[in-house]
Amino acid sequence: MTPEDRLRQFKAELASFQKTPGYVLERCIHSVEIVRHTCAENTVELKSALLAFQQPAMFPLMDPDNRSKLEQFLLLVTRRLYNHLATAASSVEHLRRTFQGMGSALMLCSQRLASELDIFASSKHSS
């Protein structure tokens, strides 16, 4: 078998594997983990910016002479709030699409598991 044939065979096996219910579920779970992590990070960034505003070191920003610095800070808070809300909104749609594919994969996995359990129960392991 030539290296090209082995590569072609490997790609075919990989494509077949990627269609299995277990692989589909793993990718769905991975997507959920990424969404959760992104939302958590954006929440932490927004919260830290808002908490920073309460610190005594920020009081000089209230001085009219520091208006440009205050505006820069408020732009930072606004951007972090936007990131937080945009992530939440897009996460809803992303998870909706993810879970649509997950339902059929879960059904196939549960059918396969039930089949394997039936085979096991009917084998010499049954009492």
Nearest to residue 106, comparing CAs of 27, 21, 13?
Answer: 21
Q: Using a pLDDT cut of 90, give the percent of the chain over it.
A: 17
Hey, what amino acid is at 47?
Answer: K
> Which distant-in-sequence residues (6+ apart) come within 8 Å of 25 by Cβ?
102, 105, 106, 109
Nearest to residue 87, comparing CAs of 51, 43, 47?
Answer: 43
Domain boundaries, the chain: 21-122
Residue 102: what pLDDT? Answer: 67
pTM (2 d.p.): 0.60
Residue 47: what pLDDT? Answer: 93
Tens-place pLDDT, residues 10-37: 999 988 888 887 787 788 788 888 888 9
Tens-place pLDDT, residues 53-70: 888 888 888 888 888 988
Radius of gyration of the chain (CA): 26
Number of other residues whose CB lies within 10 A of the CB of residue 49 = 17
Mean per-residue pLDDT of the chain: 82
Q: Using a pLDDT cut of 70, give the percent of the chain over it.
A: 90
